[in-house]
Structure 1
Amino acid sequence: MRSFMVIALVGLLSACSMAPKLERPPAPVPASFPETAAVPGSAVPATEMGWRTMFADPPLQRLIELALAHNRDLRLAALNVEAARSMFNIQQATRLPSVSLDASHSRERALAQDNSGKSRREVSNQVAVNVGTSAFELDLFGRVRSLSDAALARYLASEQGRDAAQISLIGAVADAYFARQLAAEQRQLAERTLEDWQQSLKLARLLQDAKQNSSLDVAQAEGQVASAEADLQARQRAFAQAGNALQLLVGDALPADLPAARVLERQPLVAPVPAGLPSDLLLGRPDIRQAEQTLSAANADIGAARAAFFPQLSLTASFGYASSSLGGLFDPSRQVWRFAPQISQPLFQAGRLRAELRLAKVRKSEAVAQYERAIQIAFREVADALAGAATLDRQIEAQGRVVTSAQRRVALSGLRYRAGLDGRLELLDAQRQLYGAQQTLLELRRDAVVNSVALYKALGGGLRERTIITAATSRAANPDLQEP
C-alpha cells in the first residue's frame, strides 16, 4: 500500500515546463485600414451579424442551409476536429497512470525429483490477481505536459479551421449564386438582343427586296445576328457551368422548387461595417486564430524537445494476491507486490536529440511566418473590399449613364438609317456599343454584390445564423423602402 501512496503523490506533483514563453508577434500591418471614402453600412460587427441577416434572398438562404448540411469539405473539416480531439484525449491520458486489473490461472505438469533422486510427475496450480500500473512516466521536466499542450493547441486550431471552412463555404456559395444570377441575366439580355437584331435583319431583307439598300447591309445584319447567336450559346454555357459549381458547393442536387431569385440590382445585402476599422479586429478571424494555435503547438513542441535531454523516470508497480488454490487466494498471507522504478538518461544519440530541438525551433519560426502572413492576407482582403465599396457604386452610376447614352445613340441612328441619312454600319456600331455597355453594367452590379460578400467574409462574418433586426437590415430586405 505504501508504494501506491508514493505513486499517487508523485502523480499529483505538477511538472515544470521547459517550453519557452510564448509571445504573440506584433501584427505586421498598419494600425488601421487605408483611408477611403465613407461607406454607409450597419453598425453591427460582421462577427455578430448572422448570415441570414446578410443574405436575405430566400433561395440563397436555402442553398446555404443545404451546403452547411451536405458540403464534403466542411464535413471533412468537422471530422478533422474530431480526430484532433481524440489525439488530444490520447495524449492527455499519458499524464495520469493507467491502472489495470489482471487475473490469471495456470496449471502446469512437470517432472520433479524427490530426496532419493527419483523423478516423478507433479501438477501445480497458480491463481493470481493483481492491480498495478506499468511504465508510467513521472513528468519531472514537463515533456509529457508539453506534448499534451501541443495536442490541445492543435485541437483548438482544428476547431478554428472548421470555423474558417464554414466562412469560406458560405462566401463561396454566395459567390457562385451571384455568378449564376449574372449568367442568367446576361443570357436574358442576349436573348432580347438577338430578337432585336433578327428584326433588323428582317427589315434589311425587306429593304433589299424593295431595292432600297444593298446586299452589303444584309450581309452586315446577318453577321450581327450570327454574332448574337454565338454569344447566346456562350451565355447558356456560363449559366450551366455556374449551376454545376453551385451544386458542387451545396453537395447535393439543386432543389427544383427554389423561389425565383432577385435581380442583381435589387439584392438585399447589408454592408457589415463602415470603413476605417482598426486592423486589430482581424485577430477575431478564425483563420488567424488557427494560425495562433498552430504557433502555440509549435512552441510546446520545443518544450518537449528540450525535456528529452533530461532523465526520464518511469514507474511500474503492482499489488495483488497469488495462491495455488482459488479458495485461499485472498488470504492476507498470500499478498504479493512489485515496485520497480526505472530511470533513463540519454548518453549518446548521434545528434538526434539536438536535431529534433533544431527542427522544433524551425517549425516555430515557420508558424510565426504563417501567423504573420495570415494577418497580412486578412488585412489586404478587408482593404480591397473597402476600396471596392468606396468606388463601385459610383462606377455603376457612371456606367448607367453610358447605357443611357448608348440607348439614345441607337434610337437616333435608327431614325437616321431609316431616313437614308446614315449607312447600316453606323447603326450596327451603335447597337454593339449598347449591348456591350449593358453587359458591363450587369457585371459591375455582380461585382458590387460580391464585394459586399467579400467584406463580410473578410471581417469574420458567417459563423452565426441568427437574424439581427436593424434599420439597415430592414432597408436591405425591402429595397423599395425609402428613407423618410
Structure 2
Amino acid sequence: MRAYLLLPLLGLLTACSAPPELQTPTPELPSAWQVATDAAELSPSWLVGLNDSALSELVDEAVLRNPSLAAQRQQWLAAQQRVHSTGADRYPQLSLELGSRRQEGAERSDSLELSLGWTLDIWGKLSADQREAELNRAAAEAAYVEQREALAASLAQNWFALQEARLLLELYSQRRDNLQQNLEIIESGYRQGLNEALDLYLARNNLHAEAARVEQQQQSLSELQRELERQLGRYPSAMLTTAAALPLIETVIPAGQPADILTRRPDLQQQWLALLAADAALASAHRDRFPSLSLNAAYGGSSDALSDLLSSGNLTWSLGASLVQSLFDAGRKAAVQEQALALRREQEQRWLDALFSAFAEVENALSARQSLQARYALYLKAEQNALNAETLAFEQYQHGLENYTTVLEAQRRSLDAQTSVINLRRQLLDNRIELHRALGGRFRASSPNQSQQTQELDTP
C-alpha cells in the first residue's frame, strides 16, 4: 500500500521531463527526372540484361566467398541476436544461487536460493529498447543487401575493365607490329638513300615507345586480374581470363518516377531505418528517467551443514516489490536524453544527405548516358577517318609526297581514336550498371543464395 501511495509523488517528479517533439522534414520530390526517359517499370535484374553467363557465375561466386561481404553478413547475424537478448529483458528472470560463507569466530554457513525477478515495463522503456534493436537489425539487413549489390556492380565493372584492357593490349600489340613493318620499310629506303636518317630515328623511337606501352598495358591487365580474384575470394594469381570483347547494349533503361527509388534503394532504406532506430533510442532514454517497478520472489535458506540445506525447516519463501526513482544523479540521465536527441537529429540529416545524393546519382547517370552515346557515335566516324588518314599518309610518304612527321601525326590520331572507341564502349557499360544501381535495381531478381543466407541468420 505504501508503494502505491508513492506512485503519485514519483509521477510528479518525472512530469517535468516531457518527451521532445520532433518533426522529420519531407523534401519535395519532382514528378519526373530532368532528363527525358522511359517511365516504364525497371527491369528486375540488370545482370541478365548484360547477357554474359561467365560474369553471372563470377557474381554468384563473389556473393558466397567475398570476405568483406561475409563480415557484413555476420554483423547482420549479431544484430539479429541483439533483438533476442533485448526482448529477453521484458520477461521474468529465474536464477539459482548456491553460496558458502565463513566469518571470524563463527562456523561456515551454506545457502541455497531460487529467485525470480521481473521488471515491469510500465513506461514502455523496454519496448522502446526492443524496437530499437529490431530497427537496427533491419538496418543491418539493408546494409548487407546494399553491400552485396555494390559488390556485384563493382565486379561487373572490373570484368568489363578487364575486357577493355585486353582489347587495348591487342591494339597496342598490333600497332607495335605495324610499326615494326614500317621501320623495316624505312630502313630499306635509308640503305637505298631514299629516306633520311631523321626518319629512321623517329621510326625507331616510335617502335620502342609502343613496345613500352605494350609492357605497361600487360601490367595493368595483371592488376585488374588480381583485383577481380580478390573480390572473388581467390588467391590473386592473375590467372583469371576473359574474352577481349565489350558488348554494345542499346536497349533503353526505364527510370520510372523519382519517388520510386525511396523504396528500391537499400542504402536509403538503411538510412531511414537507422533514423527510426535513433528515434526509438531517444524514447528509451526519455522513459529511463521514470521510476522502475520490480517484482521479486525467492525460495531458499541457509544452514551450517550443506546436507541440511534441503530440509523443510531451513527453506523459506519471500515476496517483494520495489519502486525506484532517481532523485539526484548530477544530470546524467538528462544528458543521456540530450545525447540521444542530438544523435537522432544527426541521423536525420544523414538520411536527407543520402536522399539528395541518390537523386544526384540518377540525374548524373541519365545525362552521362546521353553524352556517352553521342560521343561514341562521333568517335566511330573519327576512328574510320583516322585509319584512312594513317594508311594514306604512309603511302604518300613512300612516294615522297609527305614528310615523316605527317605520318607520325596520322598514327597518333589513329591510335587516339581507336583507344577512345574502346574506352567509350566500356564507359557505356559502366554507365548502364551505375544507372541501374542508382535507380535501385538489383543484379538478380532473387539471389539463389538469399534463402540460404536468411536461414543462416535465423539460426542462433
Q: TM-score, normalised by structure 1?
A: 0.80
Q: Which residue of 1 aligns with 2:3?
A: none
Query: Matched residues in 2 for 1:107 and 1:352: separation?
Result: 37
- Aligned residue in 2 for 1:343: 323
Give distance in 2, aligned partners of 1:346 and 1:362: 23
C-alpha spacing 1:267/1:256, structure 2 compared with 1 (3 Å): farther
Q: Give 1:289 shift.
A: 0.7
Q: Distance in 2 between matches of 1:228 and 1:108?
A: 90
2:262, 2:269 within 8 Å by CA — same for their partners in 1? Answer: no
CA distance in structure 2 between the aligned counterparts of 1:179 and 1:262, rounded to whole angstroms: 10
Query: What's the % identity of the aligned pairs?
Result: 26
d(CA) in 2 for partners of 1:72, 1:19: 43
Aligned-residue offset at 1:33: 1.8
Whether the 8 Å CA contact 1:59–1:259 is kept in 2: the answer is: no
Partner of residue 68, structure 1: 63
Give the aligned residue type for 1:209.
Answer: R
Q: CA deviation at 1:252?
A: 0.8
Higher mean alpha-carbon deviation, 86-95 vs 244-253, is at 244-253
> Residue in 2 aligned with 1:33?
33
- What is the correspondence of 1:462-481 to structure 2 with a 5 Å cutoff? 462=442, 464=444
Equivalence map 1:172-191=2 (5 Å):
172-191=154-173
* Greater Cα shift, 79-88 or 305-314: 305-314
Change (3 A) 1:208 1:72: same
Letter in 2 for 1:54: G
Instruction: Label 1:419 to 1:309 Cα distance change in 2 as closer, same or farther (>3 A).
Output: same
Specify the alignment match of 1:241 in structure 2: 223
CA distance in 1, matches of 2:239, 2:334: 64
Greater CA deviation, 54-63 or 407-416?
54-63
2-side partners of 1:299 and 1:67: how far apart? 36
Larger Rg: 1
Give, in whole Å, the separation in 1 of the partners of 2:23 and 2:443.
Answer: 28
Q: Distance in 2 between matches of 1:222 and 1:417?
A: 16
Q: Which residue of 1 aligns with 2:456?
A: none
Deviation at 1:155, TM superposition (A): 1.0
Quick one: structure 1 residues 427 and 328, their matched pair in 2 at CA, closer, same or farther if it must change by over 3 Å? closer
Structure 2, unaligned stretches of length 5 or more? 1-17, 448-460
Structure 1 residue matching 2:326: 3-state secondary structure: coil
- 1:337 deviates by 1.6
Deviation by residue 1:231-290 (Cα, 9 ceiling, x = unmatched): 2122112111111221221111479997743611x256865x324533343332111111
Using the alignment, how far apart are the partners of 1:107 and 1:191 within structure 2?
Answer: 87
Answering whether residue 75 of structure 2 is matched by residue 95 of structure 1, we say no
Structure 2 partner of 1:132: 115
Name the residue aligned to 1:49.
45
- Rate the CA distance shift 1:108–1:212 in 2: closer, same or farther, 3 A: closer
State the shift of 1:84 in Å.
1.0
- Residue 200 of structure 1 pairs with residue 182 of structure 2: yes
- Rounded Cα–Cα distance in structure 2 between residues aligned with 1:141 and 1:269: 60
Partner secondary structure for residue 133 of structure 1: strand
**Closer, same or farther in 2 for the Cα pair 1:345/1:82, shift >3 Å?**
same
SS at match of 1:172: helix
Q: Deviations over 1:80-120 (max 9, x none)?
A: 0011111221111101111235578x8999999xxxxxxxx
Aligned 8 A contact 1:295 1:371 in 2: yes
Say whether the 8 Å CA contact 2:230–2:236 is kept in structure 1: no
Distance in 2 of aligned mates of 1:394 and 1:108: 91
Contact 1:19 1:301 in 2 (8 A): no
Alignment check: 8 A CA contact 1:34 1:276 kept: no
Specify whether residues 59 and 314 from structure 1 end up closer, same or farther in structure 2 by C-alpha distance, changes over 3 A only: same
- Range that drifts further, 286-295 or 407-416: 407-416
Q: Distance in 1 between matches of 2:137 and 2:409?
A: 62
User: 1:328 & 1:235 partners in 2: Cα distance?
Assistant: 83
After superposition, the Cα gap between the structure-2 partners of 1:138 and 1:423, relative to the gap in structure 1 and judged at 3 Å, is same
- Residues in 2 aligned to 1:236 and 1:257: alpha-carbon distance in whole angstroms: 13
In the alignment, is residue 395 of structure 1 matched against residue 375 of structure 2?
yes
1:84 equivalent in alignment to 2:79 = yes
Secondary structure at the aligned position of 2:328 is classed as coil
Counterpart position of 1:289: 269
Equivalent-residue separation in structure 1 for 2:52 and 2:228 (angstroms): 16
Match of 1:12 in 2: none
Worse-matched range after superposition: 379-388 or 72-81 = 379-388
Equivalent residue number for residue 198 of structure 2: 216
Seen in structure 2, the aligned counterparts of structure 1 residues 133 and 262 have a Cα distance that, compared at 3 Å, is farther
Q: Give the secondary-structure state (helix, strand or coil) at the position aligned to 2:123.
A: coil
Helix, strand or coil at the partner of 2:298? strand
* Counterpart-to-counterpart distance in 1, 2:187 and 2:111: 110
Query: Which has the larger displacement, 440-449 or 415-424?
Result: 415-424
CA distance in 1, matches of 2:241, 2:219: 22
> Contact 1:29 / 1:379 at 8 angstroms: preserved in 2?
no
- Tell me, yes or no, if the aligned pair for 1:163 and 1:463 is still in contact at 8 Å: no
Instruction: Give the letter aligned to residue 49 of structure 1.
Output: S
Which residue number corresponds to residue 471 of structure 1?
Answer: none
| Other structure's SS at 1:30 match | coil
Q: 2: CA distance between counterparts of 1:54 and 1:303? A: 46
Q: 1:314 aligns with which of 291, 294, 298?
A: 294
Correspondence for 1:426: 406
Quote the Cα distance in structure 2 between the aligned partners of 1:199 and 1:352.
83
Q: TM-score, normalised by structure 2?
A: 0.84
* Range 165-174 or range 22-31, more displaced: 22-31
Tell me the CA shift for residue 381 of structure 1: 1.4
Shift of residue 366 of structure 1?
Answer: 0.7
The answer on whether the counterparts of 2:225 and 2:238 sit within 8 Å (CA) in structure 1 is: no
Q: Which amino acid aligns with 1:45?
A: L
CA RMSD of aligned residues (A): 3.1
Q: Alpha-carbon deviation of 1:343?
A: 1.8
Match of 1:373 among 316, 341, 353: 353
Q: Structure 1's 344 and 405: CA in aligned 2 closer, same or farther, altered over 3 A?
A: same
In structure 1, distance between residues paired with 2:399 and 2:306:
123
Which SS does the other structure have where 1:349 is aligned? coil
The corresponding residue for 1:251 is 233
Aligned residue for 1:317, secondary structure, equals strand
Matched, 1:363 2:343: yes
Of residues 366, 382, 405, the one that matches 2:362 is 382
- How far, CA to CA, are the matches of 2:405 and 2:132 in structure 1? 73
Query: 1:454: how far off?
Result: 0.6
Which structure 1 segments of 5+ residues have no match?
Answer: 1-17, 113-122, 468-484
8 Å CA contact retained: 2:302, 2:314: yes
| 1:313 partner SS | strand
| Distance in structure 1 (CA, Å) of the matches to 2:279 and 2:67 | 32
Q: Which amino acid aligns with 2:349?
A: A
